[in-house]
Amino acid sequence: MCVYHQTSPESPFTRKRLVSLATPDGRVNLSDMRLIVTRFGRRTERTLHDEAEVEKVLEDLFGIRP
């Protein structure tokens, strides 16, 4: 199944950007242009507007330098 998830054109992991990070109080997810932050059981969601905003979120929240 790992090979399928990593290589299949039908796998959601090859079709869109997906980043997830567990935090002490919840989780932060980036799915394409959608940022989802869950803290203490409360979920907030927002749409990012452009690639510059995505790059800032990747660096600030995930520690990833694009």
**pLDDT tens-digit series, residues 2-35:** 898 888 888 888 888 999 999 999 999 999 999 9
Q: What is the mean pLDDT of residues 33-50?
A: 97
Q: Which domain holds residue 13?
A: 2-62
Closest CA to 36 of 61, 63, 11, 10: 61
Instruction: Name the token pair of 53.
Output: 């905003």
Distances (CA, A) of 20 to 8, 43, 53, 63: 20, 14, 17, 12
Q: How many distinct structural domains can be found in the chain?
A: 1
